[in-house]
């Protein structure tokens, strides 16, 4: 199977994405963009490993977002599937890989490729009802627990934090979650599909960016312009 080139509002630094797990993501995030994509039908129903995807030639000199359409690190996803996928990535060491999750504890016990960036999604420090899974065990852990887990796991690996979609937050508490992780960069984006989420005002977002720029690189996604008015 060929790699899928990154298009649209995907991370600007990612060149390709590859998602060998199919079925409905266990998190059921209310703001999920997947249902609006052409590939939506593949991400419904029970979780399943697409065996044919494991024959994909991942090439070299690519920056591949692995699992961009589903959180492959969610607790209901079998650990053996994760191991198999990561091992396939290791067969193509010339690439840089991005693995992102709302369940960073799931990153444990993996031998990642040498060129890997681990990422964690933190929409806010607050607890908003933005997850709709019927299986309570599949809910992402609260944001403060995610941050703590991400801080403690693989401390020497490259790390990124995704603040997308950015929801209203308490600046000091939010920074207390993010700063100890020492992310190499932070990507900030907003809801791009009109889900009527509780978003912060522009001035608050600018203040957050200013504080984050004191210690890390900031990547502002195009969809953040709607909030900033730029």
**Residue 130 structural domain:** 4-228
Structure-model confidence comparison of residues 19 and 9, the more confident one: 19
Q: Is the CB of residue 161 less than 8 Å from the CB of residue 182?
A: no
Lowest mean pLDDT among 21-35, 90-104, 134-148, 182-196: 134-148
Q: Give the chain's domain count.
A: 1
Q: If you compute the radius of gyration of the chain from its CA atoms, what whole number of angstroms results?
A: 17
What is the pLDDT at residue 138? Answer: 55
What is the pLDDT at residue 167? Answer: 96
Predicted confidence (pLDDT) per residue in 178-219, tens digit? 999 999 999 999 998 888 899 999 999 999 999 999 999 999
Predicted confidence (pLDDT) per residue in 112-142, tens digit? 999 999 999 999 999 888 876 555 455 688 8
What is the pLDDT at residue 213? Answer: 98
Residue 28 belongs to a domain with what CATH number? 3.20.20
Q: What tokens were used for 184? A: 């190499």
Q: What is the pTM of this model?
A: 0.94
Percent of the chain residues past pLDDT 90, beyond the cut: 78
**Contacts of the segment 217-220: beta carbons below 8 A, 24+ positions apart:** 217/184, 217/185, 217/186, 218/185, 218/186, 218/188, 219/11, 219/12, 219/13, 219/185, 219/186, 219/187, 219/188, 220/188, 220/189
User: How do beta strands 4-5 and 16-18 pair?
Assistant: antiparallel
What is the pLDDT at residue 80? Answer: 96
């Amino acid at each position: 199977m060929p790699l899928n080139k990154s298009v649209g509002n995907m991370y600007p630094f990612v060149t390709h994405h590859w998602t060998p797990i199919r079925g409905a993501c266990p998190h059921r995030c209310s703001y999920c963009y997947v249902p609006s994509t052409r590939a939506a039908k593949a991400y419904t129903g029970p979780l399943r490993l697409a065996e044919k995807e494991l024959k994909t030639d991942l090439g070299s000199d690519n920056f591949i977002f692995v699992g961009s359409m589903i959180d492959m690190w969610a607790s209901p996803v079998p650990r053996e599937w994760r191991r198999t996928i990561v091992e396939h990535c290791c067969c193509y060491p010339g690439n840089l890989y991005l693995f992102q999750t709302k369940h960073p504890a799931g990153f444990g016990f993996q031998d990642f490729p040498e060129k890997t960036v681990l990422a964690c999604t933190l929409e806010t420090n607050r607890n908003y009802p933005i997850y709709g899974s019927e299986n309570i065990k599949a809910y992402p852990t609260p944001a403060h627990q995610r941050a703590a887990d991400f801080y403690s796991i693989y401390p020497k690996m490259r790390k990124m934090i995704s603040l997308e979609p950015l929801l209203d937050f308490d600046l000091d508490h939010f920074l207390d979650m993010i700063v100890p992780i020492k992310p190499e960069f932070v990507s900030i984006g907003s809801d791009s599909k009109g889900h009527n989420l509780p978003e912060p005002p522009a001035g608050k977002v600018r203040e957050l960016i200013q504080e984050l720029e004191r210690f890390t690189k900031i990547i502002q996604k195009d969809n953040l312009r709607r909030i900033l008015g730029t």
